[in-house]
Amino acid sequence: MGPVSVVDEVELKLGPPRQRAVLAVLAVRAGQVVSRAELIEAVWGQAAPSSASSAVYLYISNLRKLLGKDVLASAGNGYTLRLPQDRIDVKVYDALIAQASKQSAGAAAASLGEALGMWHGEALAGIPGPFATHERTRLEESYLRAVEAAARARLELGQHVELAADLGSMVREHPLRESLRELLMLALARSGRHAEALDVFQETRETLLRELGAEPGQALRQVHAQILAGEDRAVVPLEVMPAHIAASARSDTRLFVGRAAEVAKIRDRVTDVVAGRGGMVWIEGDPGIGKSELLIEALAGVRGQGCQLGWAIADEPDIRFPLRLIMECLGITVKSPDADRAELARQLQMHTGKDDEDPISDAVDRMLALVDRMCAHGPVVLVIDDLQWADEASVHVWRRLSAAVRQLPLLLVTCSRTGHARAELDQLRSRAMLIALEPLRPNDVESLTGRLVGGRPGRLLRRVTDRAGGNPLYLREMVRGLVRDSAVDLVDGVAHIDQAHVETAPQSLADAVERTCGALPQQTHEVLRWMAVLGPEATMDNVVALTGRAATDLRSALVDAVDANVVFGEGPRLVFRHPLMREAILGGISSAVRVVLHREAAKVLAGKGAPAIRVAEQLVAAASLEPWVSGWLVDHVTEVANHGPLVAADLLAGVLATLDPADPAREVLLATQVKVLFRLTRVTAEQIEQALVASTNPIRTEELRQLLAAIIYRSGRREDSIATLTESEVDESVPREWRQRRKFLLAHLVRDVTDVDTAETMAKAAYEEAAAGGEVGLMAHALQTQWIVDSVRRDHEAALEHIDAAIDVVRGQTDLAGMHFNLLDNRLFTLQNLDRMADADENLRAANELVVEHRLPVGPQVAGAVHYYWTGRWDEALYELDAITEDGPAITYAGLMDAGPAGLLLHGVSALIAGRRDDRASLAANLDAAERYLVITDSERESQDFLLAARALAATQRGDISGALAEFAPVLNPAYAEMMLRHQWLPEIIRLSQAHDSALVDDAMAVAEMEADRERVPARAYAALHRCRALATGDPQPALVAVDHYRSVGRPVELAVALEDAAVLLAARDARADATNAYGEALRIYLELGANWDRARAKSRMGQFGIREPMHAVPGVGGSDWDTLSAAEQQIAAMVANGLSNPEIATRMSLPRRIVQAHVGQIMAKLGVGSRSEIRQAS
């Protein structure tokens, strides 16, 4: 641990280097006999002189004089050093290192710190010989490993700021040690120094390439990817609970009666989540029925059971503000002790509103990853009360989380009023354990009344309390009112009231609440009015500013409201105990007065620098606006639009209606209104044209013009959209970015492949022109056009060459990352058509990595879902589609042009999977949702085939075969959307047509022949033609050819149906054994897919021949055999068993987190387990 030394009060003089070398060998092997030969080998090696033996004898003799014969003794032909292990520093050091490996972070950091503190320079400094060289190397490597282990412990303890400073010098001393650089990157990232962390990676890469000619290793690349994806943070346990809920939970005087069964159900779910099994609880009931009180009672001890807890309560205004509710539930604030939550809050708060960024979509993904990581640290319980008031984005996150509860220790608890009339909430409700709260039982009503009045209720009091109908809030307010009015007399422990009070008791819950509020002094009532108007901004400071009264006066006024249990303090905020209290106060203010109050509140909040969205809320409620508002809105409109687009849309419309046409603010606000309405998918061409007329800013004008061209194109007026761009010049002051956007948009609009030969000629000319001008993006666009031409011709190999060439052109061009992504999407289409499924998987991986690297606003979810549909990974397909929000497009090339096709595929694939799984409700919901998309453009027509198939399946399930065939009509028209892969639906058309319209069989066969003839390399169309021939002729042999093809290329979905058809045709020819085998294989695939409709159809078809489901096909599904997992699933299962979270697994496997989630779900189903911990046991 430095120079060899012996200290016995004073340091002893150990003599020459080789004598010290002998002592070092004996010390390292203390307590063991070391022969003279071993000492010679250790000190001199193979080249020992003849005098070595005498020298060793001399060294031993000298050391004995220093240490004593009892310490250094002879034993046989060798020697032994008799010292306790704790007297030899290297032994103590090694013991500390071993001890730290078994300790928690805090203890390990202490042990490692003590071990590292023992070093005093180079190990065995100045000691010669092979032994010293070997031991020195071992100790130096051990030292570095100890430094790294200590760093990891300090990271876990949150000491990243200090660690970043400490590791810098270590990295400079050991520049080629990647593990040190990995830790430095993590420390920098967790200190908020992300740019520096990424710089470390870049510098490491350059160093390794220069010194070793090698790229960074997998571990360092994973950390780099984690930092890029924002997954590098340590998780601080979640502890979020509204102050009044926390206070009520702690209170010794809280009144709760009954509900024993309901409490037990919720606590059973808590027990499950503690054991690693997630779940979902849905509590519903009328206002005041006791939903919140039930939760307080049932969840009182969850943190003591080791659960993390997040709890939020929605309020009616929340419905207009994306993610506000879920951010509160997850503790996402700038003051959060968790670095990831704090940074996410800052990003949303400070988002600049760039058009090609979607802060909501990015935030949703990061929130889901955050919950994954929290669950890796311990069970999580999330509660949302009054979900009926939640914004759509928060509901989307809740829905995504509900899909994860089966594989995470995550309990979602929801409260909602009955009769909310929100269809998306009904879907959530159907996934949960439902607790519908009924009125309190009569004995519970009597118990609660007795505790409120301090005695057993008398006859008349019971008559009054019966009026509450078992509603606890109604009961409390009514009885407390009686107590407040001194109407209750206690006689011998019985509470009596007069007949007069029976007559005047409140007739409804609303009446009871209004009486409670109305009974307060006028001064208190004034404060409550301002609280009701201010909503979330109700603080003492703001009320003081609005009333002009002293804070001391207002505090004394509030005492009565607190005593009456109407309000409570939540930090600086003043909050109504129940939403009905606020409603009662607002209901008592006339509309005219309320407008004035909102207007005054807006002015005060704006003057105090309150968040712009809070000011905007007040202005929208005020209706009539004052002159100062337009100037304020110009300064704050971006912030308002980002945090509350619905509020922004209403406020912009109101302000613009008051502005003079010559007002300079009008130009800015009109342009902003267009962008807000575009994101909300409400904008019209007329509104854009109005903003264009007013625009004097060249950049704004160009942006609006491109928007107008896109909107016109979407309406089907292609020539007019082209003219919108070609009939105007781009101002010289417009930046290159917008000029490039115009060129790409125009190139897309001009592209016409109706005549493929002409299109090919034009594309080649466009490529030459772009290449001559160095226009890389337009070169790629021209190559993409040639890809389209090749794809229409079904020359997929040529298409692959062109799309690869286009990708090569844009690769590495940061400003063309979006186009690079679109080209990868095209490439996936081609690889699928060449049946190169493994290459398609790799292409998807590359697309996902590109999205993460460049933080692109869209990912390959739709294209990935289509791929996963055909490869039989339906759960993965649904996870991909579930990740997509439809809040509106980003103002990008993709957002402008591709929203319709993506939406059609989104609902088409989802609907078709639902239909084939016989999930009629989900099928209907997706078909209804798809109605919002008009099929107008070529790309929309090309992308509707899944939707057509789903509609046809829905008609078939209704018994309407004619209707099903009518849905398929566009597929049989080769001139309709030539890029459509119609061959994949032709066998189904033939099967449906055989008993209903034989003419359609001929039509479908003609199209199948045409598609197969056009396919240059026999692949999908070739196989589909053989299926069609088998069905049309009754010959099973072509179906078996298709079976062989699908099995060889890995297309299980088509394989299963081809097997089913072959089984039916074989059975018809009385080849029962072969038919049964084919049926069994098809059945196994249907079971794996969950394709219940297909299974039922196959059962019916085979039943006509007296063939039942082969029993050998059913066992194993949902079993517990590890061997049923694929290689990838076994790899993921092993990582789950080792405690890795889904984001960590995703990083290691370079997969999206949502796909890992889908895999984990499949693993659990195959192993027949109910939690991640059970996967660990199964492994």
Q: How confident is the model at residue 896 (pLDDT cuts 50, 70, 90)?
A: very low
CA nearest neighbour of 1047 among 1036, 1037, 1058: 1058
Cα angle 1155, 343, 538; round to 5: 115
Is 50 exceeded by the pLDDT of residue 868?
yes
Least confident of 75-84, 848-857, 1032-1041: 848-857
The conformation of residue 311, written as its DSSP 8-state character, comes to: E
Taken as a whole, the chain contains a residue count of 1179
Displacement of CA 661 from its chain's centroid (Å): 45
**What share of the chain in percent tops pLDDT 90?**
27
In the prediction, which pLDDT does 811 show?
A: 92
CB contact set of 1006 (below 8 Å; sequence gap of 6+): none
- Give the count of beta carbons closer than 10 Å to the beta carbon of residue 273: 26
Q: Which of 275-279, 954-958, 1073-1077 has the lowest mean pLDDT?
A: 275-279
Ordered alpha helix ranges (H), 458-508 = 459-466, 472-484, 499-504
Q: Return the number of other C-beta atoms located less than 10 Å from residue 718's C-beta.
A: 16
Sequence-ordered list of residues with C-beta below 8 angstroms from that of 272, at least 6 positions apart, any chain: 278, 279, 411
Q: 568 — alpha (psi -120 to 50), left (phi > 0) or beta?
A: beta
Q: Phi then psi for 765, rounded to 5 degrees?
A: -65, -40
Q: What is the pLDDT of residue 740?
A: 80
Query: According to the model, what pLDDT value does residue 354 have?
Result: 47
Burial class (CB in 10 A: 0-12, 13-18, 19+), 1094: buried
Least confident of 212-221, 764-773, 1010-1019: 212-221
> In angstroms, rounded to a whole number, what is the distance separating the alpha carbons of residues 367 and 917?
30
Higher-confidence position of 1071 and 520: 1071
> To the nearest whole number, what is the mean pLDDT of the chain?
85
What is the pLDDT averaged over residues 1092-1120?
81
Beta strands 410-417 and 433-436 are: unpaired
933 Rama class: left (phi>0) / alpha (psi -120 to 50) / beta: beta
- Gap between the Cα atoms of 399 and 878, Å rounded: 13
pLDDT tens, 444-479? 988 988 888 888 888 888 888 887 778 888 888 788
Cα–Cα distance measured from residue 1009 to residue 1032, given in angstroms and rounded to the nearest whole number: 13
Q: Which of 115-129, 323-337, 565-579, 661-675 has the lowest mean pLDDT?
A: 565-579
pLDDT of residue 231: 58
Whether the pLDDT of residue 576 is over 60: the answer is yes
Q: What percent of the chain has pLDDT over 70?
A: 94
Digit-coded pLDDT (tens) for 635-656? 988 888 877 888 889 999 999 9
User: Looking at the predicted structure, is the pLDDT value of residue 517 above 60?
Assistant: yes
Determine if the pTM surpasses 0.75. no
Residue 232 has what pLDDT? 56
- Tell the burial category of 754 from Cβ atoms under 10 Å away from its Cβ (0-12, 13-18, 19+): exposed
Contact assessment for residue 411 and residue 381, using Cβ atoms and an 8 Å cutoff: yes
Q: What is the largest CA-CA distance in the chain?
A: 123
Average of pLDDT values for 847-875? 87
Mean pLDDT of 684-703: 90
Residues 391 and 323: beta-carbon distance below 8 Å: yes
**Coil/strand/helix, residue 1125:** coil
pLDDT in the model for residue 57? 86
Tens-digit pLDDT profile for residues 242-288: 888 888 888 877 888 888 999 999 999 999 999 888 999 999 988 88
Residues 397-413, mean pLDDT to the nearest whole number: 89
User: At 810, is the pLDDT very low, low, confident or very high (cuts 50, 70, 90)?
Assistant: very high
Q: Quick one: pLDDT at residue 126? A: 82
Work out the average pLDDT over 908-934. 90
pLDDT tens-digit series, residues 117-128: 888 888 888 888
Given pLDDT bands bounded at 50, 70 and 90, which one contains residue 1118?
A: very low
What's the rounded Cα separation, in Å, for the pair 1179 and 1087?
24
Q: What is the mean pLDDT of residues 1070-1085?
A: 95
pLDDT for res 352:
47
- Most confident range (mean pLDDT) of 207-211, 482-486, 674-678, 808-812 is 808-812
**Mean pLDDT (whole number) for 940-969:** 94
Q: What pLDDT shows up at residue 895? A: 42
| String of DSSP letters for 981-1043 | -GGGGHHHHHHHHTTT-HHHHHHHHHHHHHHHHH-SS-SHHHHHHHHHHHHHH--HHHHHHHH
Give the DSSP letter string of 341-386.
HHHHHHHHHH----TT--HHHHHHHHHHHHHHHHHHHS-EEEEEE-
Confidence of residue 892 (pLDDT cuts 50, 70, 90): very low
Q: 3-state secondary structure string, 192-252?
A: CCHHHHHHHHHHHHHHHHHHCCCCCCHHHHHHHHHHHHCCCCCCCCCEECCHHHHHHHHCC
| 352 against 467, higher pLDDT | 467
> Are the C-beta atoms of residues 391 and 322 closer than 8 Å to each other?
yes
Q: What is the mean pLDDT of residues 368-394?
A: 88
Lowest mean pLDDT among 144-148, 350-354, 742-746: 350-354
